[in-house]
A and B are shown apart, each in its own frame.
Chain A
Amino acid sequence: MALWGMVIDLDRCTGCQACVMACKAENNVPAVGAGEAVRGRIISWMQVLTEEEEGHPGEIKRFMPRPCLHCDDPPCTKVCPVYATYRNPEGIVTQIYARCIGCRFCMAACPYNAKYFNWRRYQKEAPGQNPDVSVRPKGVVEKCTFCHHRLQKARDRARVEGRELAPGEYITACAEACPARAIVFGDLSDPGSDVARLARSPRAFRLQEELGTKPKVIYLTEGEGHGRA
């Protein structure tokens, strides 16, 4: 069984936000508008955070793209009263909109602020959208799904062609778009995969590891060195 995960190399990342826009286009995440934005209601499954220099407020040290970290021990799923969010066998923390009752317990539980609430029906009937992803009505929580629909499509294709899913056949939209190739996506359970190799790098760290959430999005810190790992 695959264990899908992601490595983000902060040394390569330029903070350009191509990942953010690629995600919005892929998953039909609409702009909420200026009025909603000031209320802090922008939905951005992938978001570029900044980290400031200690003791020098305002001096940005680095950029940090943050999707849902797809924790192996996710705090959000445990508080969901209706089983709308759960960790699937392949490690993807999924979200079923039709089950969601909008209680937002999961948002409170997520230490990474990776979940977003639809305060209104933001998604409009508009052309140019991707028909492969589910529609989110008003009052449900949504978040990064590791572009789960791409896995379904890739798997269907493989099944029709009577073969196994090949490595690299399923990657997320953010990893595909990243101009610096800072985002590497793949199967963490396959020790030979790029993502597993990079995850073993001495530069690797996880966000707020002390919480025991075991995120499957692993960051590589900046620094001197040789080679990609």
Chain B
Amino acid sequence: MRVTRRGFLQVLGGTATGAALIKQRLVKAEDAGQDLNKWATPEEVVVPSICQQCPGGCGLLVRTLDGEVAGISGNPLHPINRGTLCPKAFGGLQLLYDSNRLKGPLARDGERGRFRPVEWDEALSMVTARLSDLRAKALAHTVAILGGQYRGYRDTLWKRFAQAYGTPNYIRVRCLPPEKPALAHRLMQGVTTPLGYDLGEAQFILSFGAGLLEAWLGPVHASQAFARLRRSEERPRGRFVQVDPRRSPTAIKADRWVPIVPGTDGILALGIANALIREGLHDKEFVEEHTFGFEDWRDQRGEPHEGFKDLVLREYGLLTVSAATGVPVKTILEIARDLGTIKPALIIGERGPAYGPDDLHTRMAIHSLNALVGSIGVRGGLLIQGDLPLAPLSPVKQDEGAQRGLGQARIDGAGRGEYLLASDAPQVLAERILSANPYPINALFLFATNPLANHPTKAELARAFDRVPFIVSFSPFLDESSSMADLILPDHTYLERWQDDQVTHLAGFTCFSLARPAATPLHQTRNTADVVLQLAKALGGSIAQSLRWEKFDDLLRAGARGLYEARRGYVVSPYAEESLRKILERQGYWIPEFKSFDDFWEALGKRGAWWDPTVLPVSREALHTTPSRKFEFYSTGLKRLVDEAVKREGKTGSFVRALGGQDRGDLLFLPAVAVPSAQEPGEFPLRLNTYRLMSRPTGGGKNQPWLLEQPAVHVRMTWERWVEIHPKTAAGLGVKDEEWVWVESAKGRIRLRAKLYAGTRPDVVHIPLFGGEGPSANDLIANEVDPFRGFGLLNTTRVRIRKA
């Protein structure tokens, strides 16, 4: 912009008291006049990036002015969010510019919690020295790496590092692994990738407590699908039913909110199955041709087994189900009739925290409804995910030290014994480290996780951390966990680094997102992925050979070559071009867009993602990769696992015990959920339910004032923490709105403000998971482990409330 002196003076006269934002600084207009250079139009560059505030992985466009970030918007080309965003995305600006970010590496100075700044070289040599030393002493397996919620090549990198170095202890601490299939889906359908939910094409959605419109997998994608369900040009308004103890925002938007006794979702599902079968509304053709275990059957030895149908008709009568779940018989019947008559229907029963003590069978029961209505492998139903055709990496080189280390059992016991089916069991980590069972941990790496802030076992973990002689944290902040570390090697925030995301959930298509740094790093921080490569190089030998990339973006580039060479899919493009490509590809024409890999890579960086929407396997056979090639009401996969475990450990082995004992017989392999006997209210008369707010990012977002101030509209609360109590319950306790109360459980008590909220069952109180400092619902939750997910049972705790 050219500014003449005359024009400038006119501007000055017009806004004598005005001020302006110039190059990110608030300046009075008069002062700005001092230096005309400041008026020069900054260079505006828009850089695609990936939101990392939740596992949704939405595409971003970051607006930068002379290298400084000046705004975030959705990437209109990105297939996951199509240019739209959720409120969390904007908090990324405050995360990036948080004044409390660490400015560089810190080393422990004397006692834990005191730090001195160090140079990167010194810090890295400290880690290298420790790691080489442990390896030399044949103690490589006593190094544990805790990873939080992230996906893609950062996961690959840590996995490779652990394998090359020689530790089995790469443990993920998170309640939801979005890149893995739910166990119930694995056992009943044999899938190895998560199922896709074709929400956008469904005409009826029945959700068992999934926070579809708040915090379920990808909230933006789900909201878009919901909007399509409600209002689209080509079809009538779809129906949506939400089963939830709480009238959540999702339940408010539903056509019907079904309040339920917490933990009885599986029983309700079986009640609905009963009604479907009794009224003949199930998809008989699908059940007959594509399922196993529906009717009674005989095994190879000729022994009779009860089928799903007889079990459901015998055990889950509507009166029994209604009494257990608190859902009226009429409602159950109406849901069943909707399910049986509106096509395509989709039943969702997947969420982070467990449904109750028998989480596996609950999820199996819910999933069996999808089979009953034949919504598997059809449009508007459940789809299978394709794999990304990323270039395979060379096998990890393992020397003798690595092999010795990897031969050891994992510290958390995942993959063995009672945790046979869990890929990680962070819930028992504290106890195992404290008892040095099976060995003490000598070094701990914390990446993208802050377990001491709000993990249910945080008190035990804090004691366990005391026992670990060497802790390295990669947190960009001095948080509860990193302040216990011996060394902090701060990571960039996501707008400053190279990264990828491989979110493949929800819609069925595969998608690879790529982000190059949008902002120049503000501080002396380093991309942890680069640091891992540097460590590997310094450790040398087979470790360096296994991680031979110079920089993380070299690895990303190497992987993306597979996408280029796959001869399918394409770099995201404007809608018109995309439609044309889809039409052509469906007819068997695939036209390469790029002449060379360099062009492809360049375009990927500029547009932000590669995807392949055309190979959606909308076919029934593709879904059933179980031993019987059918959907299994009776899971032969689980039967085989149990039989093997019995052979290995005997009938009282830990895995069989974790499943509930062999005396359950066939019920172990069927979606059978025990109807709980009526309980006396006792000392703790209320049930505690925790939930995630739409506006809380991974990690809690305590450094993002916008999100903290954003009110939870259903209770009109901002900043402060609260517990939701039904007005009737509150009246009985003499508690008024906004009064302080103690919420007490057998484990502990926390002080919160009471919010009277009529949208709940009167015997349940609800506390959102806030994250960060302050009283947390997790301080009340007993450390009970779900053996199949290795994670805590977060919704089984009973509490009482007293006025504070």
A interface list, Cβ under 8 A from B = 9, 11-12, 14-18, 20-22, 24-26, 28, 30-34, 37, 42, 48-50, 56-63, 97-98, 123-131, 133-135, 137, 173, 176-182, 223-228
> What's the interface size class on B, roughly?
35 or more
Q: Are B252 and A61 in contact (CB under 8 A)?
A: yes
* With known contacts A130-B70, A176-B74, A181-B227, A15–B90 Cβ distance under 8 A: no
Q: Are A128 and B87 in contact (CB under 8 A)?
A: no
Q: Are B231 and A176 in contact (CB under 8 A)?
A: no
- Cα of A165 to Cα of B17 in the assembled complex, Å: 33
* With known contacts A22-B85, A25-B706, A60–B20 Cβ distance under 8 A: no
- Cα of A39 to Cα of B515 in the assembled complex, Å: 41
In the complex, which of the residues A59, A130, A179, A226 contacts B85, with contact meaning CB atoms closer than 8 Å?
A179
- Cα of A170 to Cα of B360 in the assembled complex, Å: 50
- Cα of A123 to Cα of B69 in the assembled complex, Å: 17
Q: What is the chain B residue whose CB lies nearest that of A12?
A: B227
Which 7 pairs show the lowest CB-CB distances between chains A and B? A58-B758, A31-B705, A180-B227, A21-B87, A179-B223, A34-B719, A31-B709
* With known contacts A37-B719, A56-B758, A59-B247, A17–B694 Cβ distance under 8 A: yes
Q: Are A137 and B252 in contact (CB under 8 A)?
A: no
In the complex, which of the residues B22, B84, B718 contacts A18, with contact meaning CB atoms closer than 8 Å?
B84
Q: Are B757 and A18 in contact (CB under 8 A)?
A: no
- Cα of A181 to Cα of B69 in the assembled complex, Å: 26
* Inter-chain pairs besides A21-B710, A31-B705, 5 sampled, C-beta below 8 Å: A17-B710, A58-B758, A59-B759, A131-B70, A137-B17
Q: Does B96 contact A (CB under 8 A)?
A: yes
Q: Does B714 contact A (CB under 8 A)?
A: yes
Q: Are B231 and A228 in contact (CB under 8 A)?
A: yes
Chain A residues, Cβ within 8 Å of B727? 58
Q: Are B714 and A123 in contact (CB under 8 A)?
A: no
Q: List 25 A-B contacts (CB under 8 A).
A: A12-B231, A14-B253, A15-B252, A16-B86, A16-B87, A17-B694, A18-B220, A21-B90, A21-B707, A24-B706, A28-B21, A34-B718, A37-B719, A50-B713, A59-B759, A62-B252, A127-B24, A128-B24, A129-B21, A131-B24, A131-B65, A179-B219, A181-B84, A224-B236, A227-B231
- Cα of A26 to Cα of B710 in the assembled complex, Å: 16
Q: Are B87 and A26 in contact (CB under 8 A)?
A: no
Chain A residues, Cβ within 8 Å of B230? 11-12
B12 to chain A, nearest CB (A): 13
Chain B residues, Cβ within 8 Å of A20? 87, 710
Q: Are B710 and A16 in contact (CB under 8 A)?
A: no
Q: What is the chain A residue whose CB lies nearest that of B68?
A: A127
Chain B residues, Cβ within 8 Å of A9? 231
Chain A residues, Cβ within 8 Å of B756? 58
Residues of B191-206 contacting chain A, CB below 8 A: none
Q: Are A32 and B213 in contact (CB under 8 A)?
A: no
In the complex, which of the residues A25, A125, A179 contacts B84, with contact meaning CB atoms closer than 8 Å?
A179
Q: Does B93 contact A (CB under 8 A)?
A: yes
Chain A residues, Cβ within 8 Å of B249? 14-16, 63
Q: Are A180 and B223 in contact (CB under 8 A)?
A: yes
A226 to chain B, nearest CB (A): 5
Q: Are B90 and A127 in contact (CB under 8 A)?
A: no
B742-758 vs A, CB cutoff 8 Å, 1 = contact: the mask equals: 00000000000000111
Q: Are A16 and B97 in contact (CB under 8 A)?
A: no
B648-667 vs A, CB cutoff 8 Å, 1 = contact: the mask equals: 00000000000000000000
A94 to chain B, nearest CB (A): 15
* With known contacts A129-B21, A176-B73, A63–B220 Cβ distance under 8 A: no
B1-29 vs A, CB cutoff 8 Å, 1 = contact: the mask equals: 00000000000000101111111111000
B interface list, Cβ under 8 A from A = 15, 17-26, 42, 65, 68-74, 81, 83-91, 93-94, 96-97, 213-214, 219-220, 223-224, 226-227, 230-233, 235-237, 247, 249-250, 252-253, 694-695, 705-711, 713-714, 716, 718-720, 727, 756-759
Q: Are B713 and A48 in contact (CB under 8 A)?
A: yes
Chain B residues, Cβ within 8 Å of A135? 18-21, 26
Q: Are A33 and B705 in contact (CB under 8 A)?
A: yes
Q: Is the interface of B mostly helix, strand, loop or mixed?
A: mixed
Q: What is the chain B residue whose CB lies nearest that of A11?
A: B230
- Cα of A176 to Cα of B84 in the assembled complex, Å: 6
Q: Are B90 and A24 in contact (CB under 8 A)?
A: yes
B789 to chain A, nearest CB (A): 27
A158 to chain B, nearest CB (A): 17
In the complex, which of the residues B19, B42, B90, B97 contacts A22, with contact meaning CB atoms closer than 8 Å?
B90
- Cα of A50 to Cα of B24 in the assembled complex, Å: 36
Chain A residues, Cβ within 8 Å of B72? 25
Chain A residues, Cβ within 8 Å of B74? 176-177
Chain A residues, Cβ within 8 Å of B73? 22, 173, 176-177
Q: Are B713 and A21 in contact (CB under 8 A)?
A: no
- Cα of A134 to Cα of B20 in the assembled complex, Å: 6
In the complex, which of the residues B18, B97, B694, B709 contacts A127, with contact meaning CB atoms closer than 8 Å?
B97
B250 to chain A, nearest CB (A): 8
- Cα of A178 to Cα of B73 in the assembled complex, Å: 11
Q: Are B70 and A129 in contact (CB under 8 A)?
A: yes
A147 to chain B, nearest CB (A): 12
B493 to chain A, nearest CB (A): 12
Q: Are B15 and A98 in contact (CB under 8 A)?
A: yes
- Cα of A192 to Cα of B539 in the assembled complex, Å: 67
- Cα of A80 to Cα of B97 in the assembled complex, Å: 38
- Cα of A181 to Cα of B226 in the assembled complex, Å: 10
* With known contacts A16-B86, A32-B709, A98-B18, A26–B220 Cβ distance under 8 A: no
Chain A residues, Cβ within 8 Å of B25? 125
Q: What is the chain B residue whose CB lies nearest that of A25?
A: B90
A136 to chain B, nearest CB (A): 9
Chain B residues, Cβ within 8 Å of A228? 231-233
- Cα of A58 to Cα of B26 in the assembled complex, Å: 43
* With known contacts A25-B72, A177-B74, A131–B21 Cβ distance under 8 A: yes
- Cα of A125 to Cα of B24 in the assembled complex, Å: 7
B142 to chain A, nearest CB (A): 42
Q: Are A226 and B90 in contact (CB under 8 A)?
A: no
Q: What is the chain B residue whose CB lies nearest that of A177?
A: B85
Q: Are A58 and B757 in contact (CB under 8 A)?
A: yes
- Cα of A57 to Cα of B237 in the assembled complex, Å: 28
B33 to chain A, nearest CB (A): 16
B737 to chain A, nearest CB (A): 10
* With known contacts A60-B252, A63-B249, A180–B224 Cβ distance under 8 A: yes
A62 to chain B, nearest CB (A): 7
Q: What is the chain A residue whose CB lies nearest that of B28?
A: A135
B354 to chain A, nearest CB (A): 25
Chain B residues, Cβ within 8 Å of A62? 252
B753 to chain A, nearest CB (A): 11
A39 to chain B, nearest CB (A): 12
In the complex, which of the residues B15, B23, B71, B708 contacts A130, with contact meaning CB atoms closer than 8 Å?
B71
- Cα of A59 to Cα of B23 in the assembled complex, Å: 47
Chain A residues, Cβ within 8 Å of B87? 16-18, 20-22
In the complex, which of the residues B68, B237, B713 contacts A225, with contact meaning CB atoms closer than 8 Å?
B237
Q: Are B718 and A37 in contact (CB under 8 A)?
A: yes
Q: Are B69 and A37 in contact (CB under 8 A)?
A: no
- Cα of A24 to Cα of B231 in the assembled complex, Å: 28
Chain A residues, Cβ within 8 Å of B213? 14-16
- Cα of A134 to Cα of B18 in the assembled complex, Å: 9
In the complex, which of the residues B26, B93, B220, B757 contacts A125, with contact meaning CB atoms closer than 8 Å?
B26
Q: Are B223 and A14 in contact (CB under 8 A)?
A: yes
Q: Are A16 and B247 in contact (CB under 8 A)?
A: no
- Cα of A228 to Cα of B229 in the assembled complex, Å: 11
- Cα of A22 to Cα of B83 in the assembled complex, Å: 12
Q: Are B24 and A15 in contact (CB under 8 A)?
A: no
A22 to chain B, nearest CB (A): 6
Chain B residues, Cβ within 8 Å of A227? 231-233
Chain A residues, Cβ within 8 Å of B233? 227-228
Chain A residues, Cβ within 8 Å of B88? 21
Q: What is the chain A residue whose CB lies nearest that of B65?
A: A131
Q: What is the chain B residue whose CB lies nearest that of A9?
A: B231
A23 to chain B, nearest CB (A): 9
- Cα of A227 to Cα of B240 in the assembled complex, Å: 17
